[in-house]
Structure 1
Amino acid sequence: MQHHGLLPPRDPYLPRFEQWIDAKLDGLPDEVRQPVQHFATWHHLRRIRAKTGAGAPTRGPIHSAKQEITETVKFLVWLHETYQRTAATCTQQDVDEWLAAGPTTRSAIRTFFVVAKQARLNTAVTVQHRSAKSSPSLSQDQRLAWIHELLTGTSESLPYRVAGMLLLLYAQPLVKVVTFPTSIVDDADSGMSIVLGTHPTDVPEPFASLIREHLAARPNLRTGAGSDSPWLFPSTLAGRHLHPNTVMDRLRDVGINLLGARNRAIGELVLECPPSLVAEALGYSAQVAFLHADKAGEPWARYAGRSIKAT
């Protein structure tokens, strides 16, 4: 009904998030529930409602918000049960002990204490940004083996092979891949190109043939999507593209390390071209591209200096 204009567009994630917050707060002691409710409602929910009103995607922000709220609940319950202290009476030593004794996901409580400081609930505690010590990455041999498998193998159906190739060849996050319209593909007599950033990028064979095959037989066009679906990866739901988790789960089940594949792909690309050009072609920021170039050990410092002065 939304697809055909009988109902206005509705964000499917926001109402589920509102229900999730209510369920998360249910049964908590007042000393924990009250600060978490303020944090969830006035920081996260307000921000996500604003994104919904602006038409911005909310799946990623809601996922991050859930993690921060969950870790905050865990910490405040531990603090209440262990030391009978609250968010207002929490000390720096309490936080340091909590962070040191558990997994790195505990650092997600940082946002809560930033908000608590702004609200003057607790101005004594500071949680530093956590920087990852290492980034997962496939070897180039592993990347090439997966490219060969997706081009020639039968481990997955055609749509997921195309999505995986966009990850392995062009370092495209699958959250972004599922939102691609068919209009990004230009199949001219001179060859195929695809627009991922600010200008078209060539698509080599045999991947170009794989895309042609997929475009000629996109799934779900006779079910919910409809023959006029603009999406490269249509969903069974009318007017929608595939959910990113569907694609990610399928490729993970095959055995692909998604983050490792993306890191290796962009790392190889910045070895071949100046990072600023890679960023423009793939839709990345220049800072991210230069960071990967630095990790890859490619000395683009002179080029970077000229680019920065030019801008």
Structure 2
Amino acid sequence: MSRRSRSAALDRVVTVMVRQLPGLDKDAALEALVASRCHGWRGLKELDEHLAEHPGALKDGSSRVPKAVFRLTRTLHAGGRRDVVLTPCGSCGTTTRVLPHLDQSRARICEPCYTRANPRECIRCGNWGRIMARRPDGEICHNCYNADTANLKACATCGHRRPAARRLPDGKVLCQRCAPMPLHTCSVCGTTAPAWAITQDGAMCRKCYRTPGRLCGKCERVLPVARRATANSPDICINCYRGPTRVCSVCARRRPCNLDRTTRQPTCAGCHARPRRGCARCGRTREVQALWPLGPVCNTCYQWVRKNPGSCSTCGTYRALVGVTEEGAAACGPCSGEDIEYTCRTCGRAGYLYVQGSCDRCVLRVRVRDLLARPDGTLSEQLRGVVAALDGVPHPDRTLRWLRGSRAAELLISIAQNEGEVTHHLLDGMTPGPALNFLRGLLVHAGALPERDEYLERIGPWLNGVLEDCPVHHVRLVRPFVQWHVLLRARRNSNRHGFTDAAGAATRYRIRVALRFLQWLDERSVPFEELSQAVLDEWLHSNGSRRSVNEVRHFLGWAASRRLVGQITVPTVPQRQPENFLHEADYADQLRRCVSDSEIPIDVRVLGSLVLLFGVPIKNVLSLSTEDVMRKVDGTYVKLGGKPLLLPPRLAILLHGLAGSDLRRASIGRAESERYLFPGMVPGRPATATSYVRRLNSYGVRIRPARNSARLALATDLPASVIADLFGMHIGTAVRWVQYAKRDWLDYVAERAGARDGKASAHEIVAPNELPPQAG
């Protein structure tokens, strides 16, 4: 370019600048060209050609500009010309970085975007990305360059060998941590401090800077981006980004991993070693989970504070208290100078955030409706109660885990997505098991299915499964026996006394004894119609336990009544007298431990105390509801059978404590007023006796000896009619206990006569107001 053509180009560029930017004179335009190093022949040529084709290039914000236009816009903007639009990166859109490269569309892009678009492999770590330097063994990335021992220098301040960040006049170096950062005046608050970011509006400190958000391609929310969009993937926000998937060097599982700073090996988040410091809340030296205004906190305190928000001592707002005031009172994040609130973005409730800024209850509400919706997106009217029960659980996080990994949840989702009606018959056709029992209990408790005698109705589906592998001639005998004898008696007993889990187990055992007897006859090639007394005696001698003899009598008696076999006789096994009793000292010790030992769970203490005091069956105690516990002027009464019994004060305190405790059984479908004192795992049902017998045995309380000892003491002091009336015991059982005790009731008649004169009462005899001295 000749001197004359250069002067003409300079005049044209200045004319365009003055015309496009009002208030800009020619002298200011010339100063801007000199400051941006665009006054040379090459810069003038680029500006002249581009402005001739695009006169508004200084304001349109295009990325397809030459390098001279990029430098000129930055100089004019730094000089206070806010009407000039900075040249953005053609890939990420940033305006704060240098744009030295061009992409395939001739748009200017920054160094990180160019590296992502043109990655190269590091010879040392194998990662693809930006190459920092070349070594004899090949090209190395930025991380390996910083970790190279040849580049490490001794810091003049801390003495650590680290990459040099600044060189002093005397030749010594400072590391990144010790090198002073340049100070800037924050454009928002005016504080003079190191700049956290330099934006279009100026420098900003750490407290004032907010990372600009972009639309996440996964959660579709505007949040800061962790991974920028490429040709094959959208922007991923900081909440959705999980890092590159590699084989963890610690646990050897393929998970999202980052390179460890010390070992330079891929490490997942679970195996990454966090720094250990003293927790500002509990004082223990543990791994740091978060840095709050009150200081570093461990994971235990981090979870507890978020799950237990409180009222801030400064503003009174109900938030997670992550800070502390000068006086030592707990304060929320905003009052402590940090924008930390832990507030649910859906309901606005402060506390524990489960996922994507939402609390566990809001996540559960959305997830339940998504999983239980039919193919057309609607919810079945029959399952509205189930949805309401799941929404109202006291611990939503447990229910979320139940939905994610429970077999019962899988069954619930499968039947909810069907168009048909959910019935007991539909559930009976599924594979029986604990998951199906839990699901049925949930549906009944939520009102989706009608109530039924569950333990009795389970026998039919169980019998169908048992008879599938049995010979046909066995099925022809056992099925009528079960239908017209076993189930008939079971339904009659259910209408009178109820049908428990133990009764169901006894019924199934009776059926199995009949099947084993028929199998034994087949092994000896004896047809059932030719059964003789000699063959039966052989079975009784070889296989007949005491219980089996009692149960096989029902089957053979039914068969004889229908003339399926000849006249045979099953010997009657005499009823045993109670044998297992506790010594008086052991009885007092167990009762004392149940009442006073705080290390034993409160439900086990209450159950053991009631059995030891009143000798009632454990199923009667487990079926206690809140209506069975009554407070009166003279004390607390509990109804274990026929009439209320007065409790000793210390046992009454335990019972009221049990009613107010959370036993953490069935949280799904559990109402505010749980009617069972011993709730079971199945919603709406009490706990089973088997589980509590095992727990009582582990604490040294034997149920049968404890119940026998208590009944013997009652039979010694009370007549059979009173025992049956107070404890709901069958009169025949009460009479046998009284006969076993062999008590003369003349003393009792005298005491009853004295009671009419105000000397004693029946409740004072059965349940004294204080425990005996030897029982604590």
User: Which residue of 1 is the match for residue 571 of structure 2?
Assistant: 128
After TM superposition, give the deviation of residue 146 of structure 1 in Å. Answer: 1.6
3-state SS of the aligned residue for 2:648? coil
CA distance in 2, matches of 1:24, 1:198: 39
Cα RMSD after superposing both structures: 2.8
Q: What displacement does 1:210 show?
A: 1.2
1:105 corresponds to: 547
Q: How does 1:21-40 map to 2 (within 5 A)?
A: 21-40=463-482
Q: 2:529 aligns with which of 88, 103, 112?
A: 88
Report matched runs for 1:145-156 at 5 Å: 145-154=589-598, 156=600
Corresponding residue number in structure 2 for 1:252:
697
Q: Which moved more, 1:57-66 or 1:178-187?
A: 57-66
- Return the letter of the residue paired with 2:657: E
Indicate yes or no: 2:723 matched with 1:278: yes
What percent identity do the matched residue pairs reach? 25
| Deviation >4 Å, runs of 4+ | 46-55, 301-304
Instruction: Show structure 2 runs of 5+ residues with no match.
Output: 1-442, 750-776
How far apart in 2 are the matches of 1:14 and 1:97?
Answer: 34
Which whole-Å CA distance do the structure 1 matches of 2:528 and 2:666 have between them?
A: 54
Q: Supply the AA of the counterpart residue of 1:109.
A: V
Q: Pick the structure with more helix per residue.
A: 1
Corresponding residue pairs, total: 303
Is this contact kept in 2: 1:155–1:254, CA < 8 A? no
Q: Which residues of 2 match residues 152-231 of structure 1 at below 5 A?
A: 152-154=596-598, 156-220=600-664, 223-224=667-668, 225-231=670-676
Match of 2:678 among 233, 236, 256: 233
Report the CA distance shift for 1:142/1:88 in structure 2 as closer, same or farther (over 3 A): farther
Between 129-138 and 275-284, report the one with greater CA deviation: 129-138
Q: Distance in 1 between matches of 2:747 and 2:735?
A: 12
Offset, 1:8: 1.4
170-179 or 253-262, larger mean C-alpha shift:
253-262
Give distance in 1, aligned partners of 2:721 and 2:578: 21
Shift of 1:155: 6.0
SS of the residue 2:530 aligns to = coil
Aligned partner letter, 2:460: E
The aligned amino acid for 2:536 is V
In structure 2, how many angstroms separate the alpha carbons of the residues matched to 1:190 and 1:2? 39
Question: Residues 54, 276 of structure 1: CA spacing in aligned structure 2 closer, same or farther, 3 A cutoff?
Answer: closer
Deviation at 1:112, TM superposition (A): 0.0
State the alpha-carbon separation in 1 of the partners of residues 469 and 641 from structure 2: 47
Residue 446 of structure 2: aligned partner: 4
Q: Partner residue of 1:66?
A: 508
The answer (yes or no) to whether the contact 1:234–1:240 under 8 Å persists in 2 is: yes
| C-alpha deviation, 1:86, in angstroms | 2.5
**One-letter amino acid matched to 2:683:** A
Query: What secondary structure does 2:538 align onto?
Result: helix
Change (3 A) 1:16 1:198: closer
Secondary structure at 1:135 match in 2: coil
Cα pair distance change 1:220/1:272, threshold 3 Å: same
Taking structure 1 as reference, are residues 270 and 54 closer, same or farther at Cα in structure 2, changes over 3 Å only? closer
Shift in alpha-carbon separation, 1:93–1:141, aligned structure 2, 3 A: farther
Give the SS at the match of 1:206.
Answer: helix
- Deviations 1:238-262, CA, capped at 9 Å, x for gaps: 3222222222232233343322221
Q: Secondary structure at the match of 1:201?
A: strand
Structure 1: distance between partners of 2:577 and 2:666: 45
Q: Deviations over 1:147-173 (max 9, x none)?
A: 112112256411122112221111111
CA distance in structure 2 between the partners assigned to 1:126 and 1:280 by the alignment: 37
Q: 1:301 to 1:128 in 2, by over 3 A?
A: farther
Q: Is the 8 A contact 1:150 1:164 kept in 2?
A: yes
Aligned match of 2:741: 296
Amino acid across the alignment from 1:24: V
Distance 1:14-1:188 versus aligned 2 partners, 3 A rule? closer
Q: Distance in 2 between matches of 1:284 and 1:76?
A: 37
Cα shift readout 1:8-28 (whole Å, capped 9, x = no counterpart): 124433453223212322333
Indicate the larger mover: 208-217 or 140-149: 140-149
Corresponding letter in the other structure for 1:88: E
1:29 is matched by which residue type in structure 2? P
Letter in 2 for 1:100: H
CA spacing shift, 1:52–1:301, aligned 2, 3 Å: same
Q: Partners of 1:89 and 1:301 in 2: how far apart?
A: 58
Go from structure 1 to structure 2 and tell me whether the alpha carbon gap of 1:50 and 1:267 turns closer, same or farther (over 3 Å shift): closer
Query: Do structure 1's residue 144 and structure 2's residue 588 form an aligned pair?
Result: yes
Q: Which is further off, 96-105 or 201-210? A: 96-105
Looking at secondary structure, tell me which structure has more strand per residue. Answer: 2
CA distance, structure 2, for counterparts of residue 118 and residue 73 of structure 1: 19
Aligned to 1:309: none
1:203-243: CA deviation from partner (whole Å, max 9, x where unpaired): 11321221121122252488232211211212343322222
- Indicate how the Cα distance of structure 1 residues 3 and 169 shifts in structure 2: closer, same or farther if over 3 A, else same: same
The letter for the 1-side match of 2:639 is: V
Moved more, 290-299 or 38-47: 38-47
What does residue 261 of structure 1 align with? 706
Cα distance, 1:158–1:40 mapped onto 2, change above 3 Å: same
Q: Which has the higher contact order (CA 8 A, sep 6+)?
A: 1
* Structure 2 equivalent of residue 75 of structure 1: 517
Q: In the aligned structure 2, how far is the partner of 1:50 from the partner of 1:5?
A: 26
Asked whether the equivalents of residues 635 and 649 of structure 2 are also in contact (C-alpha less than 8 Å), the reply is no
Query: TM-score w.r.t. structure 1 length?
Result: 0.85
SS of the aligned residue for 1:187 comes to strand
